[in-house]
Amino acid sequence: MNEIDKTETNNVEMTVGEILRNARTTGRRKRELQTVAKQLCIREEFLQALEDGNYSVIPETVYILGFARNYAMELGLDPDEIVTKIKREMGLLPDERKDDDDESDSDDVDGQGGDGKAKHVFVRAWKFIKRNWLWFVLGIIVVVLIIGGAMFWTGTGKTTVTEPVIETNVAVSADTDAEPKYNTDVRERFGTDNAATASVILQAVQESWVKVEDRRGNTVFSRVLVPGDIYYVPDGDGYTAVFGNAGGVDVWVNNVLAPKQGADHARVSGISLSPDDLMTTNSQE
């Protein structure tokens, strides 16, 4: 077995925490945990929790995955591989090796004759349903809603249905005109208390950690945004931001798309969120 094969085998056998700690403490770029925490603006105890595999210390799953992705990029690791592996450790994804072993075992049960094959097919079908049960439930709900809607449409007059539909369309049109023509469909909105007065709106087009501070350095918003998420920045001067993936954030100023504040997967801090400053590239790494 050559050195590359050995490395790949070790990565498969190592936990996420062991991979992160090994990348930080070996090689020519050995660094203390406290130093990395300051560079990433992530609390040292959260990075320690990732290395220990103690995910209960970090409050939400989205933060665990976001911190792990940024930590992996900082250490020169493949962020997608780390995120996928950590999802498996948390039980959010099936363990591929365990599934392979289960399927091999099922091949040995009643392996001779038609009865064995039938049981094997049933076992595989049952596993597929268990893995995708949520989609089956959603499918049933959609079918029920379609049937219910068809029955409602058939049992009511056109006049009763038309009026609310017209009012709804007018309301949606008014909201749409008041906001930018986003490049990505909106998934979730944050800072909605500021929506009526916000001159600056941030939208993630790639997964990115975003932190916003006021002029005193107090954090007013900190979250990993996934594609489609938007944040309404409070109106006023003195707000600054840190983007964990600067190229993955669209900045809209008065419904106009501002220049990018950095490259893809680049961590950029000190970004002035003043409308005038944002219309030019003003950030510092």
- pLDDT tens for each residue of 245-284: 989 999 999 999 999 998 998 999 999 988 888 888 654 4
Q: How far apart are the first and last CA of the chain?
A: 42
Q: Do 76 and 102 sit in the same domain of this protein?
A: no
Q: What is the pLDDT of residue 174?
A: 38
Q: Do 40 and 117 sit in the same domain of this protein?
A: no
Q: Which residue range forms the structural domain that includes residue 199?
A: 189-278
Q: What is the pLDDT of residue 232?
A: 94
22 within some domain: yes
Q: Do 132 and 83 sit in the same domain of this protein?
A: no
271 within some domain: yes
69 within some domain: yes
Q: What is the pLDDT of residue 58?
A: 93
Q: Do 65 and 99 sit in the same domain of this protein?
A: no
7 within some domain: yes
Q: What is the pLDDT of residue 155?
A: 67
Q: What is the pLDDT of residue 38?
A: 93
Q: What's CA 159's distance to the chain center, in Å?
A: 44
Name every residue whose Cβ is closer than 8 Å to that of residue 250 and which is 6 or more positions away in sequence.
182, 183, 184, 202, 203, 204, 205, 257
Cα radius of gyration (the chain): 25
Q: What is the pLDDT of residue 8?
A: 47
Number of other CB atoms surrounding residue 132 within 10 Å? 12
Q: What is the pLDDT of residue 13?
A: 77
Q: Residue ranges of the alpha helices (H) in the chain?
A: 3-13, 16-25, 33-40, 44-52, 61-74, 79-89, 96-108, 113-131, 133-155, 158-177, 275-278
Q: Do 128 and 59 sit in the same domain of this protein?
A: no
Number of domains the chain contains: 3
Cα 208 from Cα 187, distance rounded (Å): 14
Q: What is the pLDDT of residue 59?
A: 85
Q: Do 274 and 194 sit in the same domain of this protein?
A: yes
283 within some domain: no
Q: Do 18 and 85 sit in the same domain of this protein?
A: yes
Q: Do 115 and 85 sit in the same domain of this protein?
A: no
Q: Evaluate the CA torsion angle 189, 87, 46, 205 in order and state its sign.
A: negative
Cα 254 from Cα 275, distance rounded (Å): 8
Q: Do 197 and 259 sit in the same domain of this protein?
A: yes
43-58 in b/e form (b: 16+ CB < 10 A) is eeebbbbbbeeebeeb
Q: What is the pLDDT of residue 114?
A: 53
Q: Among the three residues 155, 170, 204, which one is the final residue of a domain in this structure?
A: 155
Name every residue whose Cβ is closer than 8 Å to that of residue 36 and which is 6 or more positions away in sequence.
24, 47, 71, 74, 75
Q: What is the pLDDT of residue 150?
A: 86
* DSSP string across 187-234: --EE-GGGTTT-SEEEEESS-EEEEEE-TTS-EEEEEEEPTT-EEEPP
Q: What is the pLDDT of residue 28?
A: 79
Q: What is the pLDDT of residue 154?
A: 75
Q: Do 107 and 145 sit in the same domain of this protein?
A: yes
Among candidate residues 263, 262, 204, 244, the one with its CA nearest the CA of residue 67: 244
160 within some domain: no
Among candidate residues 283, 215, 198, the one with its CA nearest the CA of residue 249: 283
Name every residue whose Cβ is closer than 8 Å to that of residue 102 and which is 6 or more positions away in sequence.
127
Q: Do 194 and 211 sit in the same domain of this protein?
A: yes
Number of other CB atoms surrounding residue 85 within 10 Å? 20
* pTM greater than the 0.75 cutoff: no
Q: Do 195 and 253 sit in the same domain of this protein?
A: yes
pLDDT mean by block of 10 residues, the chain; 285 residues: 46 84 87 92 94 91 94 93 93 66 47 56 76 83 90 65 41 56 94 91 93 92 94 91 92 92 91 88 49
Residue 90, class by beta-carbon neighbours within 10 Å (0-12 exposed, 13-18 middle, 19+ buried)?
Answer: middle
257 within some domain: yes
164 within some domain: no
